[in-house]
Structure 1
Amino acid sequence: MSAPIRVLICDDHPLVLEGIRSVLETYAHIEVTAAVGSAEAALAESAKIAPDVVMMDINMPNLSGLDAIELFRERFPKARLLMLSMHDSREYISTAVMYGASGYILKDVSTDEIVAAIEAVAAGGTYFSSGVADALLERRHRNEAAMPLTTREQAVLLLLARGKSNKDVAADLDISVRTVETHRKNIKKKLGIATTAGLTRYVIDNGLMGTEG
């Protein structure tokens, strides 16, 4: 018999936290290692018992679930992040995936769907609440068809959207800083966007996360 899937639950709403925990504890192949109310506590607990899956609320005080994704990716690269939310906002979903989450489910889904999501991400796959994945894929395909940028410009855009400097982008893509500056100018001109914040918003709004791999 294979080892149970170790799951850490993180939500600042006690009722939600206990509700999910009590449900998951009825499944023999799932072991709840901890149920905590903040992202900071989730990081601390993960250092003690490395979870296979971290189920984390997106909207939390102090350190949000979205910001915590990057910290988990850095410190616990083997842990799979499954985001919990009341919102089916494409922006939240896109950002979560861009930061490294493996799944995104709504808090009102059935118990069966929560378990299916845990099993899917634990096995190395991805999972999105019903309808969410279709909406994202449809938008990505639509925008790829109308994408005005070259492949190289898209690569530069994604790095700039992640907050990298011209120098960092040049090092990552093995091109000169001057070439990056030229690409940046062309990208802004083609898209009609003047700021880096605007470029980041464009990447999220157009579902371009994950296209660089």
Structure 2
Amino acid sequence: MISVFIVDDHPVVVEGIRSLLINEEGIFWAGHALNAASCISYLEKITVDVILMDINLPDKSGIELCAEIKKNKPDIQILALSTLNQPSYIRKMIENGAGGYILKNADKEELLVAIKDVAAGKTHLCLEALEVVKHMYNSETGKPILTRREKEILILIAEGLTNAEMAEKLFVSQWTIDSHRKSIMTKLNTKNTAMLIKYAIENGLV
């Protein structure tokens, strides 16, 4: 069962998403917040698996909120749900730890797939966001985009820490570390730890 929470300052959007998910098998509707402060307050008492997060919030941007949540509760997965498809927003959300980015014009099927993907530790980007990321990949650095957490874990892998040691150091589960490790290896197209470290060193990632 995946517990889902939404942060969006538009009640109509919240109700629309709730109506799509409330009776869906395997999904538990955990609630909603209309601003960042309410979201943080909620998470002080209850945790969830996935947060659907708007970027334009009245008291703090979703980009800032995403970074704050991933710092304090790294096991919570963030799925950006926005009307914005500008490269800067997409990149900042990913760099701050979001596991996915989809637009509010997505249909129910795409929303469900995105929720399940990020809950499993995978990255899910809608077609528009994927095109943006591909463009950024080709035109800016020529290197894959790693999230802040992935960069942190890559450094620890290079230092020789095991999954258990990294989990203890970062206060997360070994499952979370393993998911990040697999994501990093997929993004960098490496098949084992030796190849991963070699790539990281050669490309100045560590």
1:171-201 per-residue CA deviation (whole Å, 9 max, x = no partner) reads xxxxxxxxxxxxxxxxxxxxxxxxxxxxxxx
**Residue of structure 1 equivalent to 2:110:** 113
In 1: Cα distance, 2:141 partner to 2:51 partner: 32
Correspondence for 2:11 among 9, 14, 31? 14
Partner of 2:59: 62
TM-score (normalizing by structure 2):
0.66
Q: Report deviation, 1:19.
A: 0.5
TM-score normalized with structure 1 length = 0.64
Instruction: Kindly provide the amino acid, as one letter, of the partner of residue 68 in structure 1.
Output: L
Return the alpha-carbon distance in structure 2 between the equivalents of residues 122 and 140 of structure 1.
Answer: 25
Kindly provide the amino acid, as one letter, of the partner of residue 7 in structure 1: V
Distance 1:135 1:71 in 2: 24
Once the two structures are TM-superposed, the CA of residue 87 in structure 1 deviates from its matched residue by: 1.2
> What residue is the counterpart of 2:34 in the other structure?
37
Q: What residue number does 1:192 align with?
A: none
- Cα distance in 1 for partners of 2:124, 2:15 equals 22
Matched, 1:46 2:43: yes
Gaps of 5+ in 1: 148-158, 160-210
How many residues of Structure 1 are paired with residues of Structure 2 in the alignment? Answer: 147
Equivalent position SS for 1:55:
strand
Contact 1:34–1:45 under 8 Å retained in 2: no
Q: Which runs of 4+ in 1 moved over 2 A?
A: 141-145
Code of the residue aligned with 1:70 in structure 2: it is A
Deviation at 1:47, TM superposition (A): 2.3
For the 8 Å contact 1:21–1:32, the answer to whether it is kept is yes
Q: Does the aligned pair in 2 maintain the 1:69–1:101 contact within 8 Å?
A: yes
Q: Which amino acid aligns with 2:19?
A: S
Root mean square deviation, CA, Å: 2.0
Structure 1 CA distance for aligned equivalents of residues 6 and 130 of structure 2: 23
Match runs of 1:119-198 below 5 Å: 119-145=116-142
- In structure 2, do the counterparts of structure 1 residues 144 and 75 end up closer, same or farther at CA, with 3 Å as the change threshold? closer
Question: Which residue is 1:92 aligned to?
Answer: 89
User: Which letter does structure 1 place at the counterpart of 2:76?
Assistant: A
For 2:13 and 2:2, how far apart are their aligned partners in 1? 20
Tell me how far 1:22 sits from its aligned partner: 1.2
The answer as to whether partners of 1:9 and 1:35 remain within 8 angstroms in 2 is: yes
Q: Who wins on radius of gyration, i.e. which is larger?
A: 1
Give the Cα–Cα distance (whole angstroms) in 2 for the partners of residues 144 and 10 of structure 1.
32
CA displacement 1:61-102 (0-9 Å, x = unmatched): 111111101110122110011111111111100111111111
Aligned to 2:186: none
* Equivalent in the alignment of 2:76: 79
Q: What is the CA–CA distance in structure 2 between the aligned matches of 1:72 and 1:99, rounded to whole Å?
A: 10
Work out whether residues 54 and 82 of structure 1, in 8 Å CA contact, stay in contact via their aligned partners in 2: yes
Paired-residue identity, %: 33
